[in-house]
Amino acid sequence: MNMEINDEKPRVILNEYKVTKNFPSGPTVLAEQFDIKNFKKRFRIVIVRNENYEMEFDLIGIHPSLANTFRRLVLSDVPSMAIEKVYIHNNTSIIQDEVLAHRLGLIPLKADPRLFEYKTDATAEGTDQYFLEFELKIKCSYNKEANKKDSSRVEDMYKNNNVYSKHIKWLPIGNQKERFKEADVGPIEPDILIAKMRPGHELDLKLVAIKSCGRDHAKFSPVATAFYRLLPDIKLVREVEGEAAYRLQKCFSPGVIGVRQEKNGKKVAVVNNARYDTSSRNVFRYDDLKDAVVMTKIQDHFIFTIESVGAMQPQVIFKEAVNMLRNKCTLLLEELNSS
């Protein structure tokens, strides 16, 4: 099936064996000649969901290259604080030093990177503007009260057998004690498991966190993930009723297609919410249904999702990405004008 869509939105049409495009008669953001007035008229941001550390919003009327630019900036250019150096004074656990240091570097910190500076000189001494220092001192031992409990559970037999992120203690330097609270700079979650130990195992570590970005190392990325997808659109071009309606419903993701009962008792399929369809095209398995549906994706409407690790809220991370793009563009213009 190859059906033309008569509207002014640029779309890709999902056919059974191929993908085609429709080209609106009017100007779109995908036109080769960029029109800033048309862009300002059509561009919108709609926040759909903002819960805890996850935000979903729509970028409407934007070119795919710009949407991808924001994604890349969020992942690799917006900075965060992470443990960069681990000074190991003692490690008698079974975890190798390099593996332990890697684990510690991946623990997300609450520290707001906007309150710190990049360390430009590798030989410079640590100051309160560039570094956060922590220590991890813990030793596993037998629990003398275990015999009283008559328990064989590891948690009852040993003390400090599990090392968690809550055992990392902040060591203020300079005037950091006046500027911050320990709850504002330490690990995001207190129960991140770092190591398992047994009596005789001990850790004595000094940790140094710095400000950097994801292009340096993934541990500095402020997000767990950031991604986008095109907005799906589904239209029923004829009525589907009875058993076929329920079969059509199962061809799509939950909540996309509903079955409504008419006043005459007839049950017909309706589109409830095409937004969360995964475009599986299972409908093309049925010869009696494949001509009832037109599935498209709107090319200038992006569903953007940002999942923060916790140091900054998703909306703050996106604003930082926008500011970075503006600064990069300004710098480029200055370089071009001066040449």
What six digits make up the tokens of 208? 């140094």
Residues forming a β-bridge with 171: 133
Q: What are the two backbone dihedrals, phi and then psi, of residue 267, each rounded to the nearest 5 degrees?
A: -105, 125
pLDDT at 323: 96
Pinpoint the alpha helices (H) of 134-240. Answer: 146-149, 154-157, 176-179, 182-185
pLDDT at 1: 45
Identify whether the C-beta of residue 294 lies closer than 8 Å to the C-beta of residue 3.
yes
CA within 13 Å, CB half, 118 = 8
Distance CA 63, CA 302 (A): 9
CA-based nearest residue to 204, from 279, 118, 139: 139
What six digits make up the tokens of 142? 């037998």
**Over its length of 339 residues, how does the chain's per-residue pLDDT go in tens digits?**
444 455 678 899 999 999 988 877 667 777 766 677 878 888 999 999 999 899 999 999 998 999 999 999 999 999 999 999 999 999 999 999 999 999 999 999 999 999 999 887 655 666 888 999 999 999 999 888 766 566 778 888 899 999 999 999 999 998 999 999 988 999 999 999 999 999 999 999 999 999 999 999 999 999 999 999 999 999 999 999 999 999 999 999 999 999 999 888 899 999 999 999 998 899 999 999 999 999 999 999 999 999 999 999 999 999 999 999 999 999 999 999 987
Q: What are the two backbone dihedrals, phi and then psi, of residue 103, each rounded to the nearest 5 degrees?
A: -60, -45
pLDDT at 5: 56
What six digits make up the tokens of 310? 């916790």
Distance CA 269, CA 292 (A): 10
pLDDT at 262: 87
Distance CA 52, CA 66 (A): 26
pLDDT at 32: 62
Class of domain 11-77+225-237+292-304: alpha beta
Share of the chain above pLDDT 90, in %: 74
Assign domain 81-220 to its CATH superfamily: DNA-directed RNA polymerase, insert domain (2.170.120.12)
Domain regions of the chain by residue span: 11-77+225-237+292-304, 81-220
Distance set, CA 337 to CA 36, 236, 332 (Å) = 21, 54, 9
pLDDT at 3: 47
Identify whether the C-beta of residue 318 lies closer than 8 Å to the C-beta of residue 307.
no
Distance CA 112, CA 242 (A): 57
308 class by beta-carbon count within 10 Å (0-12 exposed, 13-18 middle, 19+ buried): buried
Number of helices (H), then strands (E), in the chain: 9, 16
CA-based torsion, 92, 96, 98, 99: positive or negative: negative
Q: Do domains 11-77+225-237+292-304 and 81-220 have the same CATH topology?
A: no
Distance CA 308, CA 324 (A): 18
Identify whether the C-beta of residue 39 lies closer than 8 Å to the C-beta of residue 185.
no
